Amino acid sequence: MKKVSYEVKTRLSGTLARTGVIHTPHGDIQTPAFIVVGTKASVKSLTPEQVSSSGAQAVLANGYHLYLQPGHELIEKSGGLGKFMHWQGPTFTDSGGFQVLSLGSGFKKTLSMEIEGVSPDDVIAPRKERQAWVDNDGVTFKSYLDGSMHRFTPEQSIQIQHGIGADICFAFDELTSLMDSYTYQAESMRVRTQPWAERSLHEMQRLRKLHPERPYQAVFGVLQGANYEDLRRETAQWMADREFDGYGIGGAIEKERLGEIVQWCNEILPEDRPKHMLGISEPDDMFAAVEHGVDTFDCVSPTRVGRNGAFYTFEGRKNIRGNMYKEDFTPLLEGCQCYTCQNYTKAYIQHLFRAKELLANTLMSIHNECFIVGLVDQLRASIEDGTFYAFRDDWLARYYQ
Ligand SMILES: [Zn+2]
């Protein structure tokens, strides 16, 4: 069974930033790489051919959603996630911890990553509204589809992800919110997230032995610890001492502190393993994560904002619904090589939005995915040729002017 492995290619001197390759049974990922989100085994409104022609290298689906619908057993019968959704490249699955826990204390409220101006009452849902309950062995939750009760333990999360068949799986973890106290964060990390990570790893090792004919599936340990340096370093050391194939840096992170939090983790984590940052939303976060040694990250923004009419340009995000585009017969972004910009005008795409034509979502998503993949390609090239900081400063100044 060929393992999932990582090879460093270049390092940016004096930093943790690097380029490299993740080898998986379904192909290589040149890093840093943006991993496209296909939560329910579909990148919303795009065919896999459209996803791959945007330059995307891998897709991340969600164990929780696929467990509820259509069920991991069905995906397993079909030959695994890639085959089921007709995606040829590498795949990731998230454990479902985030989705399950966001039904808990954060249910119907923001699991806010920005605490300014937010009180605990805005974030912590009353007991009766909760849809998930955590104990030291796992999480019990109500299905968002039909209200039926379910339970995830680390073993079950891995059995689900094993059935789905992604190349890279994440250990089951407890997601905490920035509103939780230090004491809660520390207890959650030591009593649940870390033991759950170890149980996730052991369960995958057991399943690998049971099914030696199947391609290797990696387990990435997930680092929690919120904004606390001592907790982040402690969990990084704990994870580094165990046989994870890679790591997921997750949890409650204040945007302004993303870079330093990632740095605390990556200074300790082994260099020869890939590091994934779970759920990034904005380009400045991508620069900060990559500068501090993140190799891959996932982001729903390109398709999500696209469906709301937003498109990326070098001068920031714009909205196609704006009146100034009514008779604008130029592409979304002059010089963009994507299919949308090569063939359609802003006036036409605005018309599609106003007429509620489904093609609007597809055309916007193609452009936005291409834009972000292209940005990460340039990021990678700038690490290789040593121009990372100049590229970052120019790019961000123009985008956030
Ligand atoms: Zn374009």
* pLDDT, tens digit (0-9, with 9 covering 90-100), for 169-189: 999 999 888 888 999 999 999
For 208, list phi and psi in degrees, rounded to 5.
Answer: -60, -40
Instruction: State the Cα–Cα distance between residues 146 and 133, nearest whole angstrom.
Output: 17
Q: Provide the pLDDT for residue 103.
A: 59
Please give the helix or strand (H or E) that residue 59 lies within, else none: strand 59-62
Residues of the chain with CATH 3.20.20.105: 5-299
CATH number listed for the domain at residues 5-299: 3.20.20.105
Residue 89, CA distances (Å) to 18, 23, 168 in order:
22, 11, 12
Of 220, 223, 225, the C-alpha closest to 95 is: 220
Per-residue pLDDT, averaged over 273-290, amounts to 94
* pLDDT, tens digit (0-9, with 9 covering 90-100), for 327-349: 999 999 999 999 999 999 999 99
Q: Which of 94, 180, 245, 295 is catalytic?
A: 94
Q: Provide the pLDDT for residue 8.
A: 98
Q: How far is the CA of 354 from the centre of ligand 1 (A)?
A: 20
pLDDT at 129 over 90: no
Q: How far is the CA of 382 from the centre of ligand 1 (A)?
A: 22
Q: How far is the CA of 279 from the centre of ligand 1 (A)?
A: 23
* pLDDT, tens digit (0-9, with 9 covering 90-100), for 346-387: 999 999 999 999 999 999 999 999 999 999 999 999 999 999
Joined tokens for residue 320: 């196609």
Q: Provide the pLDDT for residue 254.
A: 87
328: annotated active-site residue:
no
pLDDT at 107 over 60: no
Q: Which of 245, 298, 328, 394 is catalytic?
A: 298
284: annotated active-site residue:
no
Spell out the alpha helix ranges (H) of 27-94. 48-53, 63-68, 72-78, 81-85
User: Is 275:236 a contact under the CB 8 Å cutoff?
Assistant: no
Instruction: State the Cα–Cα distance between residues 169 and 214, nearest whole angstrom.
Output: 15
